[in-house]
């Protein structure tokens, strides 16, 4: 959803010029038809079956920060095997390699996952770090004609990137109808089979010596936090860094007063954006306001909520007044919720008098409901906007630009339920992986207007990953004036990618620098 409009003819010309397609397609359906069995071949060709093994190669070039960066793109599939070596599923991936770099052992590799669970890799692929980005306006809203254009802020200048679709997302599918779905759809099952798949990918593409980084967005942060330990302890693959974009709670407990309080700074950011704060707060810079609200949240709000119904009435009124002031709603609303207003109610309440709701994943987006009454919005205004622009763009890009031809449907969100969420220890897994590997660094990126995985909750997660504080010099937090996908805002696309560049540089040690404490 970003930046300027493109004319259809101009877009088609640019895409044609950027991709001198030397498409070498090695599409091998599973099972292979007998060479002389034409009837069987025709049958398979007409079925919507993802090939277990395939690869379509093309060349492109993108200008990043004013310099031409040539690259090779591979859109393909690689199998998932069971313990007996039988193909049971196939994962679709898109792999970009800078083509004017010969030494892979010095070239960083960024491994990218989105979340859900059940979400394809589309979001960061064609809107954040990749060489192409959506046709959207500067704030991230859809524009026509749909499609993609060059991303001048891509990190391809400093690292190769692979975008991976887990089972049932994107084009990825289960191929064996008898395969147990439980081996794919759960916190720990997801981590286990993806680590095995990555081991094969790194081996096939000769990337064992490369500095390696994981980046995950939303539930993808749960995935990559668990993968950091799984790759290290069960595949002996050591990482240089992990980037968490709009992170989940990573299994770190925060029930009760802490959970209820952590949303307040997000409420304040949203109220500031929509200009409904009291005048004295509204005229101040957002960062200054948030610093005050964060201090109140930690030192006053959490202790007050901890007292429950036994809080002193005078203190109760004082806290309600302050929370209402920061959240941009009335004191009566805060008191009616026993000081802890739920996010869904906030999305409905903040602009109720204007007849509008605010988005869950990005509260800059506005919606209109059937009626102004109620305790939550009718729909997620931001998600419908995003699907509007992302869906045609990724289907056009993969099929018509990268030339990956298939009748398999591209699942923006795929069927991955029931999902086993038990035994989520991914935060502790990340801590242990960092403790065992002195090279590994962590960066957290969050948008101030994200109400699903709010930025202050993300800060809390980072603090709790390392309760000893002994590794905090290897951790950093970056905040942006946008939402869950902060990169959809043009200004933040540039800044957030630059932060990744700086992170990779810091986390890639100089030659001969030993990994030790």
Task: State the virtual CA torsion across 206, 198, 53, 118 in degrees, nearest 10.
Answer: -150
> Residue 206: pLDDT above 60?
yes
Q: What is the pLDDT of residue 30?
A: 36
Q: What is the pLDDT of residue 46?
A: 54
Q: What is the pLDDT of residue 12?
A: 32
């590997």: which residue's tokens?
437
219-248 residue pLDDT tens = 999 999 999 999 999 999 999 999 999 999
Contact 238, 199 (CB under 8 A): no
């946008």: which residue's tokens?
482
155-200 residue pLDDT tens = 999 999 999 999 999 999 999 999 999 999 999 999 999 999 999 9
> Residue 483: pLDDT above 90?
yes
Q: What is the pLDDT of residue 34?
A: 38
Mean pLDDT of the chain: 91
DSSP per position, 311-362: S-HHHHHHHHHHHHHHHTS-HHHHHHTTT---HHHHHHHTTGGGT-EE-SS-
Q: Crossing angle for the helix pair 264-273 and 286-296, nearest 10 degrees?
A: 150
Distance CA 183, CA 192 (A): 9
Give yes or no for a cis peptide into 277 (omega within 30° of 0): no
């Amino acid at each position: 959803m970003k930046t300027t409009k493109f004319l259809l003819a101009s877009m088609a010309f640019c895409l044609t010029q950027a991709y001198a397609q030397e498409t070498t397609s090695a599409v091998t359906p599973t099972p292979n038809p007998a060479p002389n069995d034409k009837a069987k071949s025709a049958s398979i060709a007409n079925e919507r079956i993802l090939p277990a093994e395939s690869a379509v190669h093309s060349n492109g070039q993108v200008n990043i920060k004013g310099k031409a960066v040539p690259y090779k793109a591979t859109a393909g599939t690689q199998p998932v095997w069971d313990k007996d070596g039988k193909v049971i599923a196939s994962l679709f991936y898109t792999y970009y390699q800078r083509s004017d770099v010969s030494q892979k052992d010095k070239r960083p590799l960024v491994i990218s996952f989105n979340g859900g669970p059940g979400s394809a890799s589309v979001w960061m692929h064609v809107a954040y770090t990749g060489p192409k980005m959506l046709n959207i306006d500067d704030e991230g809203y859809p524009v026509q004609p749909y499609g993609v254009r060059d991303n001048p802020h891509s990190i391809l200048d400093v690292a190769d990137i692979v975008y991976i679709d887990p089972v049932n997302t994107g084009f990825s599918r289960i191929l064996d109808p008898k395969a147990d779905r439980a081996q794919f759809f759960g916190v720990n099952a997801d981590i286990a089979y993806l680590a095995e798949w990555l081991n094969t990918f790194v081996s096939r593409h000769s990337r064992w010596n490369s500095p390696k980084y994981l980046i995950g967005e939303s539930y993808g942060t749960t995935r990559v936090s668990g993968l950091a330990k799984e790759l290290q302890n069960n595949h002996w693959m050591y990482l240089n860094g992990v980037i968490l974009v709009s992170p989940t709670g990573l299994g770190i407990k925060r029930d009760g007063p802490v959970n209820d309080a952590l949303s307040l700074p997000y409420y304040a950011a949203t109220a500031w954006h929509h200009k409904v704060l009291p005048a004295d707060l509204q005229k101040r810079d957002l960062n200054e306001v948030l610093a005050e609200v964060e201090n109140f949240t930690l030192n006053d709000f959490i202790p007050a909520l901890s007292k429950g119904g036994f809080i002193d009435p005078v203190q109760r009124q004082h806290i309600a007044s302050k929370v209402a002031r920061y959240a941009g709603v009335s004191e009566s609303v805060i008191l009616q919720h026993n000081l802890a207003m739920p996010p869904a109610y906030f999305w409905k309440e903040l602009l109720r008098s204007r007849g509008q709701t605010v988005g869950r994943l990005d509260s800059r987006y506005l919606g209109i409901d059937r009626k102004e009454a109620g305790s939550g919005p009718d729909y997620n205004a931001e998600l419908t906007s995003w699907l509007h622009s992302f869906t045609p763009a990724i289907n056009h890009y993969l099929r018509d630009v990268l030339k990956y031809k298939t009748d398999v449907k591209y699942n923006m969100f795929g069927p991955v339920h029931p999902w086993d969420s038990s035994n989520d220890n991914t935060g502790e897994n990340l801590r242990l992986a960092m403790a065992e590997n002195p090279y590994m660094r962590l960066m957290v990126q969050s948008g101030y207007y994200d109400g699903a995985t709010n930025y202050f909750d993300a800060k809390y997660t980072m603090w709790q990953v390392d309760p000893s504080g002994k590794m905090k010099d290897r951790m950093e937090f970056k905040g942006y004036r946008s939402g869950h996908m902060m990169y959809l805002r043009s200004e933040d696309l540039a800044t957030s990618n630059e932060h990744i560049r700086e992170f990779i540089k810091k986390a890639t040690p100089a030659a001969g620098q030993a990994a030790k404490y």
